[in-house]
Structure 1
């Protein structure tokens, strides 16, 4: 895809923040960071429009607590039209990482993610979505 160059004017404070963002995220230059931010904005806008997206819900929890696993499976069955698969990994003696691959309307994925993350005992959870074309 051809690249088009254009100029951008930023006040000094915003430019400093952009440079810090470039450094913190290991982008090779400002252009790469700006492309990333624009793409991210477009994807998030697509989520708000309830278009079809794909993503992953990551969950960390204590796998010795059987009621957590049972509740997670119940919710995934309830949303089986958007759940593609689920993977389970042992992190250490007590904790596991579960990754639920999902595809569907963004509002449904957000709804499922919110319910999974809200399960009592979930230590950390996050939904990541990407556009599907």
Structure 2
């Protein structure tokens, strides 16, 4: 681990200390590490990075919309190599929530999520990306060298 000295103005330090209190960090170093990770993740997303990632795509849609469920299913089947798992929840008489766990190159996962979220009658959608260093091929059965 590297030790770094950073100079911050008083207003920025006050904001950082407020964040530390709200989120319950044990110390400033933990907060700054999390902020650095978030900034690096955002920068990778903005540059269309080919870095591998795991993504959580969640969206709410009107299941009665003409052919929407069929189009969404077809989109996921066409990109089966990105999908690890999915969850479908009936929220009410009209709305469904779907959550898909995806993995692959960040730019590819982002493009796929953008396509799903932009479908007509998809009401709300978001993608949360977590950069990873190594990934086994999607949907592969690989031996784990550690316990979960």
Instruction: Give the structure-1-normalised TM-score.
Output: 0.80
Partner of 2:89: 89
Separation of aligned partners in 2, 1:14 and 1:96: 42
| C-alpha deviation, 1:31, in angstroms | 2.5
Q: What CA distance in whole angstroms lies between the structure 2 residues aligned with 1:82 and 1:25? A: 33
Specify the alignment match of 1:27 in structure 2. Answer: 25
Q: Which residue of structure 2 lines up, in the alignment, with residue 126 of structure 1?
A: 126
| Cross-structure match for 2:100 | 100
Structure 1 residue 105: deviation in Å? 0.9
Q: Which whole-Å CA distance do the structure 2 matches of 1:123 and 1:44 have between them? A: 24
Runs of 4+ with deviation above 6 angstroms = none
Paired with 1:11 and 1:58, the residues of 2 have a C-alpha distance of: 38
Structural mapping, 1:17-96, within 5 Å: 17-47=15-45, 48=47, 49-65=49-65, 67-96=67-96
How much does 1:117 deviate? Answer: 0.5
RMSD: 2.3
Structure 1 unaligned regions, length at least 5: none
**CA shift for structure 1 position 6:** 4.8
Post-superposition offset of 1:28: 4.0
Which one has the bigger helix percentage? 1
Q: 1:94 to 1:24 in 2, by over 3 A?
A: farther
Deviation at 1:23, TM superposition (A): 3.9
Unaligned runs of 5+ in 2: 134-148
Matched pairs, number: 131
Give the 3 Å change call, closer, same or farther, for CA 121–13 of structure 1 in structure 2. same
Q: Determine the C-alpha separation between the residues in 1 that align with 2:52 and 2:2.
A: 29
